[in-house]
Amino acid sequence: MGEISASLSQRPKASRAVFAAAGSPYFSTVLALMAVVVILSNIGAAKGVTFGPIVTDGGFFLFPLAYILGDVISEVYGFKIARRAIITTFVLAAFSTLCFWIMIELPAAEWYDGQEALERTLGPIWLIVLASLLGFLVGQTLNSLVLVKMKERFGERGLVGRLMGSTGVGEFADTLIFCSIAASVIGIADAPTFINYVLVGFLYKTAVEFAFVPVTAFVIRWFKRREPSYSLAEQEPATA
């Protein structure tokens, strides 16, 4: 009887959601990386890339990193801090686009011969920028919210399951918003083509994210072991 009671008393602690504080250098490092990745992804998107029949853009290899970092922040630090990181990254990405536009519009010196290249590389297509930023904002927010809610329900168990579940929700919202705004810019005008555009984008992004789940889980566990406030939170007694 005593063993059963001890087991029951330990269960709330094992299943409760634990989050770290954002005051350590770890959080600021992940936040900085997340912002840099999103900004570089937007720059890379200006270049078309082909691998045989596969057509993508120059930022495709960076995209999974943004969601990996978003998952790390959500899992380790919780939704409120993740929301702050998402909004901060959104603002910095928008600010970088504005800065690029100002740089392009500044009068070029007579000896400067890179204006056309600068415009082609950094010149913003405003609807595409809007689509990318709104997709990121909503998709990452939903991804974080679903992940944290699942963690609050199941505690430390089921990390891979909540990574995959939150990714599916976040990626679908991100893709739907981006495609809905960007479709007219790239010339998609009929419903079947639009549905194909959304589904192919969603399936591709989700497949890449699922392939990276072991990497994401490894990074999250690495942070949990090294984040001092996370260890302290795990040691605190569960409240009723």
Give the pLDDT confidence of 63-103 residue by residue, as tens digits: 778 888 999 999 999 999 999 999 999 999 999 999 999 99
Q: Minimal CA–CA distance to 181: which of 139, 128, 126, 140?
A: 128
In tens, the pLDDT along 187-218 reads 777 888 888 888 887 888 888 888 989 999 99
Go through 141-170 and write b for each residue having 16 or more CB atoms within 10 A of its CB, e for each that does not.
Answer: bbbbbbbbebbeeebeeebeebbebbbbeb
